[in-house]
Structure 1
């Protein structure tokens, strides 16, 4: 009886492992798809940068159509609007009948539902926790995926990635280990985001120093901070991500209002012109792409070349 139990257990484990391997391979078991649903923008950012026309894609749909300036080439009648991360447009996905559906951080929760609706499609979850792995690691994984799906652009992908990686490492080597606070403007109150947040790229990849362990939140929405606390921390550098303006929130706190606050004006960062506005599209909408990575590099360079 004991031998039978052991044998059944081994068979169960073997089948389970085989199933897991099949799922892992299935995600990459496609080359040069012609119909693709982009439910994350970082992958589309990369393809746009290397030359979308080099792929074999004939029909495509995307989230947030027309909302990111540097993806303007896709704001035309040939590209299907698939809605937003809060409300996918399934009618349009049905019309597209995609061979490949690419998910990201904001859409990974739809995976099971999409698998049920589109059983013939390959569904790839391109979610890479940028708050943990950092920017370079995320780009590396995106390049690996795209190289397997579009092998004809592999060298282009790798060359551009290596250039970006070298540029980031070069900046990190320029002694920018200075006290830095990342502020996100969302709603009516400023929030801080720490080393293990989506804006932790500034600390992990570029080498800035966390200004306050008390205000070092990893929460995706950040940690509310008072203006008095900002002055008390008194960082050397303040990077501001104006989420409100990026997503079109009306009557919300914006960058100019933040700069005009009495307590902010008393900080060393303000006195030395070290309060910088980050590129909202790059840091909030498409982080993990090539175009966005270069925009991030440019944002960091504003501090170095000031």
Structure 2
């Protein structure tokens, strides 16, 4: 008799458990959703998603600034800047590389939302088959306006509207303060150095923020904005003769120590004749922050560094 009672009790418990699972599944399906317009289309996504994987470090930068909980990020061959280094830890799902997501790991993890874009742009269709996927890429030609929109969209998904408002207000104030200082600072050139070669960026390009938003006068013009910049030589830089050089070291950013550093490449007789070099107006930016990440915290830190350099120069 006791055996029959035990079996009956177990059956009831199992039935209740299954009913609970069905209810949870229905609750998940009934969770509020919104249709979000993003860089790769229009997607219906859940509000307040619990398990979120972010593949684009720029969006991770913004999410971290808003204190949004993240479940997974690319970790294989990824070199996040120090302020995002915690996401390299074992408590976060390794979602693959910046260019090639680990689809099997993502499928097994069953995320509520994947935020892709950036270097994972081409993976969008495969990712969308796993979970709702969006791309919150920022348009470099309308940087501040686009960054504001993407930050507000991200905040709206997680109920972080007030945090976003304060964050963006501080960011705008930084831009205004630095723009006032740059008005009389003279001309500038933004350089990326990689493998001993130099590329310069123009207004409207990936790193055109210095000109478009901060108001520095370009020391030279280029017919193409170019995602990877425009290849330049020391002779070209001398002829342009910028008053300021803002420099990023790509090899350092991606963890490739071999070869010459940016400082070594620029330390030559031609560059030493420029106004920027003679006046010690060569500013080495946080390359990992800007090149790998490039979200609101990265640009805020960049502005802090440029502002300090202008203050030291008496601007």
TM-score tier, shorter chain, comes to 0.7 to 0.9
Distance apart, 1:208 and its partner CA: 0.5
Q: 1:128 is matched with which residue: 138, 143, 162? A: 138
Aligned to 1:280: 287
Flag the structure with larger Rg: 2
- 1:93 alignment partner in structure 2: 106
SS of residue in 2 equivalent to 1:87 = coil
Of the three residues 162, 165, 169, the one matched with 2:172 is 165
Aligned to 1:292: 298
> Which consecutive residues of structure 2, in runs of 5 or more, have no partner in the other structure?
1-33
1:234 aligns with 2:241: yes
Provide the rounded CA distance (Å) in 1 between the counterparts of 2:73 and 2:306: 29
- Name the structure 1 match of 2:13: none
TM-score w.r.t. length of structure 1: 0.82
Structure 1 segment 194-209 matched on structure 2, within 5 A: 194-209=202-217
Q: Which runs of 5+ in 1 are unaligned?
A: 1-20
SS in 1 for 2:283: strand
* Native 8 Å contact 2:80 2:292 kept in 1: no
Q: CA deviation at 1:159?
A: 0.6
Q: 1:268 to 1:71 in 2, by over 3 A?
A: same
1:50 to 66, 74, 77: 66
CA RMSD for the aligned pairs? 2.2
Q: C-alpha distance in 1, partners of 2:195/2:295? A: 25
Which of 14, 32, 36 is the equivalent residue of 2:52? 36
Quick check: 1:172–1:207 contact (8 Å CA) kept in 2? yes
Q: Secondary structure at the match of 2:98?
A: coil
Cα pair 1:192 1:217 within 8 Å, conserved: no
Aligned residue in 2 for 1:11: none
Structure 1 residue 283, shift from structure 2 partner: 1.5
Question: 1:131-179: per-residue Cα shift (whole Å, max 9, x none)?
Answer: x112x2232112221222111x210111111111111112112215621
Contact 2:244/2:282 (8 A) holds in 1: yes
Count of matched residue pairs:
273
TM-score (ref. length: structure 2):
0.80
**How far off is 1:250 after superposition?**
3.9
What per-residue deviation string (whole Å, max 9, x for no partner) do you get for residues 204-263 of structure 1? 1100111112x4641111111111111111111111111111112243342221231121
Task: Mark the CA change 1:46 to 1:181 in structure 2 (over 3 Å): closer, same or farther.
Answer: same
The structural deviation recorded for 1:66 is 5.8
1:184 lines up with 2:192 in the alignment: yes
Alignment equivalent of 1:256, drawn from 263, 272, 284: 263
Instruction: Provide closer, same or farther for how the CA distance between residues 66 and 220 of structure 1 changes in structure 2, counting only shifts above 3 A.
Output: closer
